[in-house]
């Protein structure tokens, strides 16, 4: 039915055992480290008095966790979205030579839409934070 694309299937190559093992060890190490930290932080016997932050003997008012300013939260969201866009651009970039001009046009449109988005948040003040932005 659909045109057959030559060679566009999985290659008969086994996952490299050595690199997999190294990678696995690293991840397992990280996992156990995180597990250890999580249990270490979570199961400690504690009472409110012990958990209270030390502020030179003065009883703290309010929570120690300060609320982040809003623009930072927006920037985190923008980062996530552009991160995903980068993943697509990366997929194109590793095979750009075999995709030719058609691929170039496709990714150009993709990047154009991405730039539109960037322009929009710029124009609407999504990138401005701090007290300096007094205009309009």
Partner 1 sequence: MMNVWTLFIPELYCLLMAVVFFGLAMSARPNPRRDYFAALFMAGVGVVVALACVRLEGTLFFEAYRVDLFSQVFKVMLAMGFFLVVCLCTELNGIEERHHPEFYLFLTTCTLAMMMLVSSVELLTIYVALELSSYSLYILVPLRRGHGVDVEAGIKYLMVGACASAVMLFGLSYVFGVTHTTYLVEIIHVLPGVIGTPAAIVGLLLVLCGFFFKLAVFPFHFWAPDVYQGAANQVTAYIATASKVAAVAIIMRVVALSGGSSKYLVDMLVTLSIASMTLGNLVAIVQKDMKRLLAYSSISHAGYVLIGILSMSATGYASAIFYALAYLVMNLCCFLVVVKVSHDGSDLKIAQLAGLHRRAPLLAMALMLAVFGLAGIPPTIGFTGKFLVFAAAMEKGYVALVIIAMINATISLYYYILVVKAAYLMEPDEELPRLPVSIPTKVLTVALVTAMVVFGVAPSYLLEVARAAARMLM
Partner 2 sequence: MTVYGAVFYILAGVILIATGLAITRRNLVHSIVYLVISFFGSAMLYYLFGAPLLAALEIIIYAGAIMVLFLFIIMMLRVEPSALRKPTLRQWLPAGVLGLIYVAVAILVVTTDPGSQTILETALARPRVFGRFLFQRYWLSVEIVSFLLLIALVGALYLGKAFVKEGGDQKEDQS
Partner 3 sequence: MIVPYSHILMFAGILFAMGIFCAVARRNLIMMLIGVEIMLNAAGLAFVAAALRWQQLEGQVFVLFIFAIAAAEVSVGLALIVYAYRRTGSLDPETYNILRW
Residues that bind partner 3 (CB under 8 A): 8-10, 73-74, 77, 80-81, 83-84, 87-88, 91
User: Largest alpha-carbon pair distance within the chain?
Assistant: 77
Q: From the CB of 10, what's the least distance to partner 1, in Å?
A: 13
114 binds, among partner 1, partner 3, partner 2, none (CB under 5 to 8 A by kind): partner 2
89 binds, among partner 1, partner 2, partner 3, none (CB under 5 to 8 A by kind): none
First to last CA, the chain: 57
Residue 60 in contact with residue 53, Cβ under 8 Å?
A: yes
69 binds, among partner 3, partner 2, partner 1, none (CB under 5 to 8 A by kind): partner 2
Cα–Cα distances in angstroms (integers) from residue 37 to residues 17, 34, 42, 59, 136, in the given order:
29, 5, 8, 28, 48
Integer Cα distance of 13 and 90 in angstroms: 23
Count interface residues toward partner 2 (CB under 8 A).
70
In the complex with partner 1, the residue whose CB is nearer, 50 or 124, is 124
53 binds partner 2 (CB under 8 A): no
């Amino acid at each position: 039915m659909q045109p057959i694309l030559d060679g566009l299937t999985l290659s008969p190559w086994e996952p490299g055992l050595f690199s997999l093992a190294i990678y696995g060890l690293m991840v397992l190490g990280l996992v156990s480290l995180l597990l250890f930290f999580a249990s270490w932080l979570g199961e400690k016997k504690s009472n409110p008095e012990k958990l209270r932050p030390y502020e030179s003997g003065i009883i703290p008012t309010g929570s120690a966790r300060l609320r982040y300013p809003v623009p930072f939260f927006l920037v985190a969201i923008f980062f996530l979205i552009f991160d995903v866009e980068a993943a697509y651009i990366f997929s194109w970039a590793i095979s750009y030579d075999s995709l030719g001009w058609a691929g170039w046009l496709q990714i150009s449109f993709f990047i154009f839409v991405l730039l539109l988005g960037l322009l929009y948040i710029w124009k609407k003040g999504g990138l401005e934070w701090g007290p300096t932005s007094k205009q309009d």
